[in-house]
Structure 1
Amino acid sequence: MLAVLFILYLIVVGRFASRALNKFFGFTNNFFSNLLSIFAVFVSLGTIAGMAILFLPLNFWVLAGVFVLNAIIYILLGQWSVNVAENTAASDSQIEENASHKDRFAAVVFLLLTGYAFYLLLNSSTGQSVLSPWQTIDPQYIFVFFLSVLALGLLIFTKLKTNTIILFLILQTLLFHSYLPLTHKLIYGADGWRHIANEQRFLDGQGFLEAKIINPNASTKIESAKIIIGQLSYSNFWATNVILSKAFDVELLAVTRWLLPILWSLLFPVLLYEIALAFGWSRRKSLFFSWVSLLPFAWATAGSFSLPVNFGLLIWLFLVLLILKRINLPTKEQKLVLIVGGVSLFFGYSLFFILFWLMWAVAEFLIWQFVNPAKLKKAALVLICSLAIPAVELIAGYSKFDPDINWLGQIKQLLGNLSAFYLASGPRPHDIATGNIIFNQTPLSVFVPNLITYWRWWLVVFSICFFGVVIYGFIKICRDNKINNQWLGIVAPGIIFGYIISNYFLSGSHILARRLDGVVVLFLMLLFFYGLTKIYQRFVWKNKTWQILAMLVLSLGITASYSLGPDTNTVNVGEYEAASYVWLQEQLSEKPCVLADTYPLLALEAVSAKQIIGGGFPIDADFGQPERVKSFEQMNIAINDNLLNQVGQLTDADHCWFIGKAENFQKQGILKAENVFGDSAIIRYNIVNN
């Protein structure tokens, strides 16, 4: 019942939001623009609730106030729009023809391929520990996926209706991002567990709980300040998940598995289509842009992991669309909407808060100029955009300049990352964290080759051609006097250079820059597509043979990129059940002691709503646990009196739980059948003379 009321709330309030967006920004009143309006209502609901959870428990009355306040805002906005002249931005008035029987048959083939691909994913699910979804996915899936991508790409050039193709793009995107939730019974990665732990506290009516740090120092105080900033950045996401859990009566684990794959699939193709239209591209070109944007690995993972940065990226893309709409036909009413949207990002993800105001400032400068600004002014704006993120990181202490930096080595690293050379010549035995934009540089230990990636040197050629087209597109767009293209010609190189400066020529943690992959991809894909359409117009667009060949190559690139990751750990079902059992026994313990590997402890932190963090072991100023790691290594050799005394002194507990591999405990002769959970097991020991 609550779920139905929640959906009705979004639809009804979304109508008021749709009225305002259509009037102020010139959206066409159709199902997909209404979908974006509902998304706006959904996001603002989470933002207001996110503000509330920083100070109040999310009980019934607080949530009721949040829903009422959010509705009032959109009702007032909708009423205000009634007296505003309609924005008459130009639209593609091309008349669509009726689809042929061949087109309809091709559509059926695509649907059959997609349905079979879903079936293969559903039958690939596991609860075991895997380092990549491709270690469990049926080998034939990747070929079915390739055929579905190719079929959809070719359907774009048929006479099928635009709305039909968008629905197919949504379906393909859902398949694209379902390979994580459908292939594991839990979740991939570590961060999701940490967020579930915080969300569970809010769901239980509690407040934020920070980990206790031993031997705090000056750097710890800085880290504490960063935690406060983190609470602001994550509050929207946390509150949204709590609301969904309450509304649909599902566990937070299920919300974390499916939130972004579903949201991304519904909205991302529509956002990209609308962004392309805002640049003046035709409907078919805009559909093509939405399809080819399946290529970058950075977007494949962004839409698959339910994390605050990926949720923030989706919100930021929506606001970028509004900026482009304003560039095309500015009105004074748009400013208020953009100001409110920009301020709300402060309670979303700080990176996008900075980027939004920077990009909107560039847009306002170009609108104010009315004409193509001088090259010197453009160069100055590019420089400001390039230095914005590196400057913020230097000021915040996320990065620092190293005078002994190996400039030539870093340039080689940059070229090796972006050209896929390290991937083609390897894979390398270690993980490579930077430059995983188009292709992920999968480490050897988790690389699962297929027919497309068994021989990988073609990926180097593909990457070089890709960036060659990007450069060609940039040159062409700089010669275009349209304001939106001028905006792209300034912001794109600025953000890309800023990404390169921070990640390759500054040392440090790069908290902001290493999360720029999804942003950089937008500008790379826009420049790539602009250059690609120029090439298409000259050689491909009216030649079916070249058209099919081009779609074949792009489909191969999309499939190869898709199959190269992500590479990340998982908690297996046995470890999760063991952690849940330990929490049931330790709920009343004031001084817990649980010795286990990192991932089972993350699951324990989630199920205990942060009552047990790090197993109760000390956490240092850098949020590390060297003593726990050393004790865990000893546990895998032998659990003896020396180890018991050691963990007792570290946790001040009178007993301790040990979570490890059942096989290991069997070898030590301490395994009990009732304490086995899959391939994991637990042992409890009392600690004497603690």
Structure 2
Amino acid sequence: MLWLQYLGTLRTVQGGLCAIFFVLMLFGYALGVLLMLFVILGTWSLRAISQYARSRRVGWSLVFLLTVLGICIIPSIELLAGTSHLSANISVLYVGRQVIGELSGWLYASAIRPHDIASGNLFFNHTPDYAFVSSLFTSWRWWIIPCMIVLWVSALSGIYIYAKERRPLRFLVPAWIAVSLMGGYVIGWFLLSGDRLFVRRLDPFLSVLILLFVCVSICSLFHRVRFSTVFLRRSIALCILFVVSWFSMATYMSGPDMRVVSVDEFAISEFILNEIQDSSKPISLQQYISDTGEGTPLLKHFSPLFGVNICILADTWVLLPLEALSSGSIVGGNFPIGYQFGQEERISLYDTFLHGVVTTSTIHDMFAVSKKERCIVALPADDVSEGEEARITSFSSAEPIRYSGFLLWTVKDDSAGSLNIDSR
């Protein structure tokens, strides 16, 4: 937005601020840097077209070609980076149905699906049935379809009005960005397969851009009725205010994306943290650097639990509140975190403890992966059979603790010292 403001005023101060923020983004969000380069490329290209196009028709033809190029940029980056690949079997009918169904709200309004839908969540989250909570705004959802149709028509009208009023083509940057990103978003989600590293993170940027052009349409509407009666203008304003308020609340109530942490999961996280604090002595910062050979971490991340030599094997929904409660000192149960924040080893070990047969090899793998001396294993009590409970207990230093619907064991590495959590 600051860059767009700079284009309108060409003030040196605003340009300098844009440069400073761009440099700062290099140390933060990679997508922000990519989008800033995208905007700069569009600005430079549109300015060149505005200066060198011989006629307006030629200028608009070049703008169209530039838009096609802009639509292909994000998907091309995905393909070159190897985070996505072209889908093997592409059905035009299926793709069209999915695009219309998701962006019109039809899929969300018609039924709550049993699975999560990651695409098309620009204004409403396609919540899976295991996370859906009915409310006043979402119990009957058919109103979403006409509302979304009005929104898309308003956005397209806003883009048309904005483009029509901009005589120098270089001021078309906002409209070019919106159309290019939206086209790249559709291609990335519905024609490509894979992680979609960049496309999946475009939702908030696209939503803001679309709403900006909806605001352009609303301003144009008020401009048209400026000479009408006060009653009509106030009625229109109240209707728009009500629709926006209702729409906003429904958007908020369409989450969460997966589910929320339960009371029992939060309670067991607190319990585990208290046990670690009571029975563990964290290593010093100097000892951590000496043992691991890693550089000095930021002091703001050095907490009383820093470097605690213990891992926690539990479900993700137990480890997430534990991370928050420990102020980020215990992340992912102290198991390695890989690509896209995945923890395949931890999940595999957890599934073995919960559904498989725990053996000496399983225990060895747990310590080999975590590189810790001790590990707390937390499993839902209802999902553990008596036989499996006895088997896991045979590897533990004490009987399991029963707390808040969970069973907790402390397992130690044979080559390390003992850390006991007393049976209760």
Q: TM-score of the superposition, structure 2-length normalised?
A: 0.73
**Partner residue of 1:682 out of 396, 404, 408:** 408
1:280-319 aligned at under 5 Å gives the runs none
Q: Which whole-Å CA distance do the structure 2 matches of 1:465 and 1:612 have between them? A: 44
Q: Residues 83-142 of structure 1, C-alpha deviation per residue, up to 9 Å, x if partnerless?
A: xxxxxxxxxxxxxxxxxxxxxxxxxxxxxxxxxxxxxxxxxxxxxxxxxxxxxxxxxxxx
Q: Which residue of 2 aligns with 1:349?
A: 29
Work out the CA distance in 2 between the residues paired with 1:560 and 1:603: 27
Larger radius of gyration between Structure 1 and Structure 2 = 2
CA offset digits 1:409-445 (Å, max 9, x no partner): 1221111111111111101111111111112212222
Paired position in structure 2 for 1:578: 271
2:363 alignment counterpart = 648
Alignment match of 2:241 (pick from 541, 551, 567): 551
Which position in structure 2 is the counterpart of 1:423?
Answer: 108
**3-state SS of the aligned residue for 2:165?**
coil
In structure 1, the residue matched to 2:251 is 561
Measure how far apart 1:535 and its partner are. Answer: 3.0
Q: Is the 8 A contact 1:499 1:513 kept in 2?
A: yes
Letter in 2 for 1:630: D
Please point out which of 394, 397, 417 is paired with 2:82: 397
Q: Relative to 1, partners in 2 of residues 1:536 and 1:569: Cα closer, same or farther, differing over 3 Å?
A: same
How far off its partner does 1:570 sit?
4.3
Could you say which residue in structure 2 is the equivalent of 1:458?
A: 143
Kept in 2, the 8 Å contact 1:426–1:444? The answer is no
Over 3 Å counting, the alpha-carbon distance change for 1:689 and 1:476 in structure 2 is closer
Listed one character per residue, the Cα deviations across residues 194-234 of structure 1 (whole Å, up to 9, x for unaligned) are xxxxxxxxxxxxxxxxxxxxxxxxxxxxxxxxxxxxxxxxx
| 1:624 and 2:339 aligned | no
From 595, 599, 605, give the equivalent of 2:317: 599
Structure 1 residue 551, shift from structure 2 partner:
2.6
d(CA) in 2 for partners of 1:385, 1:503: 16
Segments of structure 1 that go 5 or more residues without pairing to the other structure are: 1-319, 636-641
The Cα shift of 1:446 comes to: 2.1
Deviation of 1:503 after TM superposition, in Å, equals 1.5
Distance 1:578 1:457, change over 3 A: same
1:471-620, aligned counterparts within 5 Å? Answer: 471-483=156-168, 486-538=172-224, 542=230, 543=232, 544-571=234-261, 572-581=265-274, 583-584=276-277, 585=279, 587=282, 592=310, 594-602=312-320, 607=326, 616=335
AA partner of residue 132 (structure 2): F
- 2-side partners of 1:432 and 1:337: how far apart? 38
TM-score after normalising by structure 1: 0.47
CA drift at 1:463: 0.7
What are the superposed Cα offsets for residues 227-284 of structure 1, whole Å, 9 maximum, x if unpaired?
A: xxxxxxxxxxxxxxxxxxxxxxxxxxxxxxxxxxxxxxxxxxxxxxxxxxxxxxxxxx
In the alignment, which residue of structure 2 is the partner of 1:201? none
The answer to whether the 8 Å contact 2:379/2:406 transfers is yes
Question: Which moved further from structure 2: 411-420 or 540-549?
Answer: 540-549
> Which is richer in helix?
1
Report whether the alignment pairs 1:361 with 2:80: no
CA distance in 2, matches of 1:528, 1:608: 40
**Change over 3 Å in CA distance of 1:596–1:472 after alignment to 2:** same
* Residue identity in the other structure for 2:364: Q
Q: Distance in 2 between the 1:613 and 1:420 partners?
A: 35
CA distance in 1, matches of 2:165, 2:333: 56
Alignment coverage as a number of residue pairs: 364
User: Aligned to 2:26, what secondary structure does the other structure show?
Assistant: helix
**Distance change >3 Å, CA 558–CA 539, structure 1 → 2:** farther
User: 1:360 deviation in Å?
Assistant: 2.7
How many Å separate the matches in 1 of 2:97 and 2:174?
28
| Structure 2 counterpart of 1:376 | 61
Give how far 1:617 is off.
Answer: 8.2
Partners of 2:335 and 2:134 lie apart in 1 by 41
Separation in 2 of the partners of 1:384 and 1:500? 14
What is the one-letter code of the residue matched to 1:632? Answer: F
C-alpha distance in structure 1 between counterparts of 2:400 and 2:344, whole Å:
33
Report the CA distance shift for 1:439/1:685 in structure 2 as closer, same or farther (over 3 A): closer
Q: How far is 1:329 from its partner?
A: 2.0
* Conserved 8 A contact 2:86-2:192: yes
Q: Is the contact between residue 595 and residue 659 of structure 1 (CA under 8 Å) also seen in structure 2?
A: yes
Deviation (angstroms), 1:679? 3.9
Instruction: Flag the 1:611–1:324 CA change in 2: closer, same or farther, 3 A.
Output: closer
CA contact (8 A) 2:400 2:408 kept: no
Q: Is the 8 A contact 1:618 1:651 kept in 2?
A: no
CA shift for structure 1 position 335:
3.9
Q: Aligned to 1:338, which of 8, 12, 18?
A: 18
**Match of residue 659 from structure 1:** 378
Counterpart in the other structure of 1:161? none
CA drift of 1:684 comes to 2.5
Distance 1:476 1:448 in 2: 39
Are the structure 2 counterparts of residues 508 and 550 from structure 1 closer, same or farther at C-alpha, using a change threshold of 3 Å? same
Superposed CA offset, 1:422-479 (max 9, x none):
1111011111111111122122222222233222111111111111111222222221
Q: Is the contact between residue 575 and residue 600 of structure 1 (CA under 8 Å) also seen in structure 2?
A: yes
**Using a 3 Å threshold, how does the CA distance of structure 1 residues 648 and 537 change in structure 2: closer, same or farther?**
same
Are the aligned partners of 1:578 and 1:682 in contact in 2 as well (CA < 8 Å)? no
> 2:269–2:321: 8 Å Cα contact kept in structure 1?
yes
- Greater relative contact order (Cα 8 A, min sep 6): structure 1 or 2? 1
Distance 1:358 1:686, change over 3 A: closer
Q: Secondary structure at the match of 2:358?
A: helix
Q: Whole-Å Cα distance in 2 between the matches of residues 326 and 348 of structure 1?
A: 23
For 1:430 and 1:359, the matched residues in 2 are separated by 35
Gaps of 5+ in 2: 284-306, 417-424
